[in-house]
Amino acid sequence: MTNYKLQLERLKRHYEDSVKHYDIISFLDLAHTLRVWTEIKQGIDNSYPTLLISKAVVTKSLKRILKGSEYVYTFLPDGITTYAIATGESNSRNIFYGPYIDKFSAGGMVRINQDGSMSVSQYSLINRVLSGEEIKNLDFESKNVPIEKISYSKYMESPAIYFQFKNWAPNYISNKELIKRVANEYDASHANAEDTNFEINNAFSEPVKKLMEHGCMKLPLPYFVLLHIAKTVIDTYDSKI
C-alpha cells in the first residue's frame, strides 16, 4: 500500500529545492519523484474522490491561431514562482527562447518580482509572424483561459504542453508522459542500457528533446511545467493526506 503522506513530503522537499535553484540534478530528482505520482492515479482517485484539480481549457479560437504553424504553447493555472534566474537575466531582451532563428512570435505571462523571483503562467512560441489581429486575439485568449475541475487521474492524462513539430503527429504531451519522458530520457529513473531496447520507440522521446530547447530566462520549459505539476499536487493534497 502506498504511503501517500510520505510521497507528498518527499515531493515537497524536491519541489522546494527546485524552486530555489535550477541544475540538471535537482531537475531530474524532481522528475523522478513525480514519476511515483504518475503510477498512483487510481489510488488517489479512490482515496480522495472529492479533491478536484484545475485544468486550463484551450479554446477553438486559440487553436485557430496556432493551426498551420510549428508552435509550443502551455498555460499554467495560477502560475509558479521560482528563484532560479541567472544573474542579470531579468534585464534580458530575450525572455523567451526557442530554436527558431528567422520569423517567429514569442509571448507569455511572466513577471519579475521585487524579491528577485520570477512568476510564470504562460508560454508560447510560434514559428511565424502573427498579424496584428492575431496578436490581439492571442492576448485576449491568454488572459481569459477557461478552467475546469477534474479528477487526479484525468489531470495526469490532460495536456501539459501543446506543440506542433514537423513530422510528428501528436499535438500535445500529457502531464504523465512529460514526467515519464524527462525521467527516462535523461536517466533520472532508468540508466540507458545499450543492450536493451527499453522504450526506444516511444512517440514522445524526440518531442521532449525539442521541448527542452524552449524556455524562459535560460531555463527549459519542462522545468516550469514540472514545477507546476508538483505545486498543483502539493496545493491539492497538503493537509488533506
pLDDT at 176 over 90: yes
| Residues 6 or more apart whose Cβ sits within 8 Å of residue 137 | 61, 65
**Structure-model confidence comparison of residues 68 and 191, the more confident one:** 68
**Structure-model confidence comparison of residues 139 and 234, the more confident one:** 234
pLDDT at 42: 92
- Return the axis-axis angle of helices 4-20 and 221-237, rounded to nearest 10°: 140
pLDDT at 134 over 70: yes
Measured in whole angstroms, the distance separating CA 69 from the mean position of its chain's CA atoms is 20
Average pLDDT of the segment spanning 174-188: 86
Mean pLDDT is highest, among 81-90, 96-105, 165-174, 232-241, for 232-241
Interval 201-220: pLDDT, tens: 566 788 898 999 999 988 99
Share of residues in the chain with pLDDT > 90 (%): 57
pLDDT at 40: 94
pLDDT at 197: 44
- Check if the beta carbon of residue 82 is closer than 8 Å to that of residue 224: yes
pTM higher than 0.85:
yes
pLDDT at 95: 82
pLDDT at 101: 61
Average pLDDT of the segment spanning 216-240: 95
pLDDT at 1: 61
pLDDT at 66: 87
pLDDT class of 87 with cuts at 50, 70, 90: very low
Average pLDDT of the segment spanning 91-112: 76
Interval 29-46: pLDDT, tens: 999 999 999 999 999 999
Measured in whole angstroms, the distance separating CA 215 from the mean position of its chain's CA atoms is 10
- Listed in sequence order, the DSSP H helices in the chain are 4-20, 24-38, 41-47, 60-66, 132-143, 152-157, 175-185, 205-211, 221-237
Look-up of cell digits 488572459: 143
- How far is it, in rounded angstroms, from Cα 179 to Cα 199? 14
Residue among 171, 147, 152, 121 at smallest CA distance from 8: 152
